Amino acid sequence: MEKEFLNKLYMKSRADRIKGLALSNVISTEDAILLKDDLHLPAEVADHMIENQIATYELPLGVAVNFLIDQKEYVVPMAVEEPSVIAAASSAAKMINLAGGFQTTIQNRTMIGQVVLKDIPDMIFARDMVIKHQKDILQKANEAHPSIVKRGGGAKEIIIRPIAADKTFQTPSFLVIHLHIETLEAMGANIVDTMVEAIKPYLEKLTNGTALMAILSNYATECLATANCRIPVWSLGKGEYTGEEVRNRIIEACQLAIADPYRAVTHNKGIMNGIDSVVLATGNDWRAIEAGVHAFAARSGQYRSLSSWSKAENGDLLGSLTVPLPIGAVGGSINFHPAAQLSKRILGYQSAKELESIIVSVGLAQNLSALKALVTEGIQKGHMGLQAKSLAISAGAIGKEVKYVADHLKQRKNMNLAAAKEILRQLKEK
Ligand code: MEV
């Protein structure tokens, strides 16, 4: 990667940005040509993707720079409508680079499928039967999807989870059988659903129960990704605050998000600004990731911060983030959505694990940027320029008008849509 062409990318026009990405070898010449005409989901493809399709809903796709993850440099595509997200990711990644970038640990990618049984006449007998026939159950599951087994994946383990009846909620008891499945490079919803549905009748026979359902669980506790980072304390100083003060205030902000769910939700929303944008850009299922991540944040019984920030022995700031990330590197829209395919080429990831490393790192970067701004000058100041642009566009400004309206808006005491419209009206009357 020739990094000099990526300098101050945000100050360049879209055309120069694309040229810069091509010169730095982040994108190929073919992709630069493709991007020149913009990138659209072909109407024909969109029509076949969902029922009753009438249009496509577009979002800006941008790139965050400066990411050094496990010693490898990345320019990260992000699909997002919020103006400040990419700027925040790039600036935090730059800070994190000072001490060697992100280090990640990715758990074995095991997905969980559930078969839910009800009306079990004898729970102990049913449980013993499942334990006794574990091998057969796994074999039947694997026979239902031989191609994943051939590639080294497949159903590996069974976990039995009796769910006791609850008088308060008037729920009966259930016997839930978890199938742990290695789906390799795919997110694997189809693999998992095929396997759990295949073993459903056999489990009914073994337990004398009735199946209620068989489905993937999006609470992917066996597919965790962790990113760690270190920020030299001297680099954290901002305005009136010394580096030590900013570090301590970031740690306190995190302590608050561990203790207070009202703050934790916003804190984690900031993390998801980064995670969702990459999940979306790479063609993955962001609803699955959102649902799983927030359940994980509440695993202690209270909704808490997903990240942790602490002080290193030498005084540096240490950050860590762990989230369930059942994303795929193949399958679904990844195989045909032009933007997802472009994202894959830009990132050049070789495996789903590598993509997980990138996504969890972007989440941690996003959190650092938000916390640093919040505990120093506040969030509004840094956002002002981008918000002004967004308001200018909302007011109807186009082309050069956008910069004019945004610049004048920034000088106003109240930056709002009415002010933007007023500035635009005055400009048009000139
Ligand atoms: C805004 O999209 C995200 C933040 O609210 C996150 C946070 O408060 O930590 C800035």
| Any atom of ligand 1 within 6 Å of the Cβ of 40 | no
The tokens for 249 are 């205030």
The class that CATH gives domain 39-107+224-377 is alpha beta
Dist. CA 96 → ligand 1 center (Å): 19
| Any atom of ligand 1 within 6 Å of the Cβ of 378 | no
- Domain spans in the chain, listed from the N-terminal domain onward: 39-107+224-377, 110-217, 381-429
Instruction: Tell me, yes or no, if 166 is annotated catalytic.
Output: no
The tokens for 325 are 């990330």
Q: What is the CATH architecture assignment of 381-429?
A: Orthogonal Bundle (1.10)
Region of 151 please: left (phi>0), alpha (psi -120 to 50) or beta. alpha
Residue 270 has what pLDDT? 98
Question: Is pLDDT at 382 greater than 80 in this prediction?
Answer: no
Instruction: Tell me, yes or no, if 19 is annotated catalytic.
Output: no
- The pLDDT tens digits of the residues spanning 172-230 come to 899 999 999 999 999 999 999 999 999 999 999 999 999 999 999 999 999 999 999 99
| Any atom of ligand 1 within 6 Å of the Cβ of 369 | no
- Per-residue buried b or exposed e for 271-303, using 16+ beta carbons within 10 Å of the residue's own CB: bbbbbbbbbbbbbbbbebbebbbbbbbeeeeeb
Ligand 1 atom nearest the C-alpha of 270 is: 6
Q: What is the CATH architecture assignment of 110-217?
A: 2-Layer Sandwich (3.30)
Q: Which residue's C-alpha comes closest to atom 7 of ligand 1?
A: 267
CB 202 within 8 A of CB 216: no
Residue 84 has what pLDDT? 92
Q: In this structure, how many other beta carbons lie within 10 angstroms of the beta carbon of residue 56?
A: 12
pLDDT averaged over the chain?
95
CB 175 within 8 A of CB 120: yes
| Any atom of ligand 1 within 6 Å of the Cβ of 262 | no
Examine domains 39-107+224-377 and 381-429 and report if their fold is the same: no
Residue type at 398 in one-letter notation: I
The tokens for 149 are 């087994």
- The pLDDT tens digits of the residues spanning 105-152 come to 999 899 999 999 999 999 999 999 999 999 999 999 999 999 999 999
Residue 430 has what pLDDT? 84
pTM score of the predicted model: 0.92
**Which of 170, 191, 172 lies closest to 180, judged by CA?**
191
Helices (H) and strands (E) in the chain, counts: 16, 10
